[in-house]
Each structure stands twice: as structure tokens, then as C-alpha cells.
Amino acid sequence: MTNYYKVGKIVNTHGIQGEVRVISQTDFPEERYQVGATLHLFQEGKSPVKLTVASHRKHKNFDLLTFEGYYNINMVEPFRDGTLKVSEYQMSELDDDEYYYHEIIGLTVIDDNNRTLGEITEILATGANDVWVVKRKGKKDALIPYIESVVKEINLEDGKVYVEIPEGLLDDAD
């Protein structure tokens, strides 16, 4: 059984030439969306569809893709709300201090007082650095920047991230 990992969600079509608008959820859009790359489209109640990227370009906050064999809006309209994934065999080795999104999402965040803050539910790619969305019990979600001064240790085996929260970072989220 092959594992698949989410790289984006098709949120709409773009124009009439078969382009789709994707909200990217990958650290490697230039690799995942390069011409010739294979993606798998997952939609509820349907079998996955294997797609080959024919073109890729950035437009505002979206990645715009076309796929080989799908040349007009009518052919890609059914892809809307589908999830684009890659197989585990398409994953490349990362450096020791690099992680895939799927490895980080779901980890428990522990602060420097050994208190559990919550669980990472989402990663926002802001450009300068990623920001982790941490779901907290009875409080607003916390936004934790993935920077060296805040994230002290990531322990995938234990499912925990140890952070040092700068004064004032969480005050507005309480």
C-alpha cells in the first residue's frame, strides 16, 4: 500500500485553457509542479487520477497548473476541490534540520516551562519563514514562527516540538 502526501488543493479553474488554481501546501512547489512531474488527484468517492504537469506559473497567492491531455476548462472543471498528492516514492531525502509538512502537522507543542500548548494543525508559508498554527484547548489558535530562536527541538519519534515562546507572542491569543 502506497502512502500519499498532500501538496495542494485545486480551488478553481483559471481561464478557459484548462488551467487550475491551486493553493499550495508544499515546501517544494518548484519541484512538485515542474513540467513532467506526476501528481495524483484525490476526490471523495472517486478513484485517484494520475496527472502529469504540462505547465506551472505563479499568480497572486496561487500556483496555476495545466495537465497533459487536459486542454480546456470543461476537462478540468470536475477537478475543483480535489486534493493533489505525491506518492511516498516521490519524496526526496532532506537535510537533518529539514522536515516535510506531513511530519510536523499533528505534533504536540511543549513550551519552555514543560507545558503542553497544543497540536500543530496547519503550516502557513509566509515567505520569510513558515508559521505553525497550534490548536489550543479553550483558547484561540496560536501562531508560532518556525525560527531557530523559537523552535528549540523537533522530536519526531516522540511526536513533540519544544519551543521557547518570546514574551508577548501568545498574549494576544489568550
Encode pLDDT of 73-111 as tens digits: 999 999 999 999 988 777 766 666 777 777 888 999 999
Residue 59: CB partners within 8 Å, gap ≥ 6?
14, 21
DSSP string, 102-142: HHHTTPEEE-TTS-EEEEEEEEEE-SSSEEEEEE-TTSPPE
What value does the mean pLDDT of the chain take?
Answer: 87
CA neighbor of 64 nearest in space, from 18, 101, 27, 31: 18
Q: What pLDDT score does 54 carry?
A: 96
Q: Can you list the pairs that 111-117 forms with residues at least 24 positions away whose Cβ atoms lie under 8 Å?
A: 111/162, 111/163, 111/164, 111/165, 112/152, 112/162, 112/163, 112/164, 112/165, 117/142, 117/144, 117/163, 117/165, 117/170
d(CA 79, CA 46): 11
d(CA 102, CA 28): 13
Q: What pLDDT score does 95 carry?
A: 64
Instruction: Kindly state the average pLDDT of the residues 115-133.
Output: 85
C-alpha cell belonging to residue 135 = 490548536
Q: What pLDDT score does 93 carry?
A: 67
Q: What is the pLDDT of residues 12-25, one digit of tens each?
A: 999 999 999 998 88
pLDDT of 163 strictly over 60: yes
Q: What pLDDT score does 94 carry?
A: 66
**Lowest mean pLDDT, pick from 84-88, 91-95, 121-125, 156-160:** 91-95
Cβ proximity of 143 and 135 under 8 Å? no
Q: What is the pLDDT of residues 128-137, one digit of tens each?
A: 788 889 999 8
Helix (H) or strand (E) holding 32: helix 29-32
Instruction: Kindly state the average pLDDT of the residues 166-173.
Output: 69
**Band of residue 168 on the pLDDT scale cut at 50, 70, 90:** confident
Q: What pLDDT score does 79 carry?
A: 96
Please give the model's pTM, rounded to 2 decimal places. Answer: 0.62
Count of beta carbons in the 10 Å neighbourhood of residue 170: 18
**Residue found by looking up cell 520569510 in the block:** 128
d(CA 30, CA 57): 9
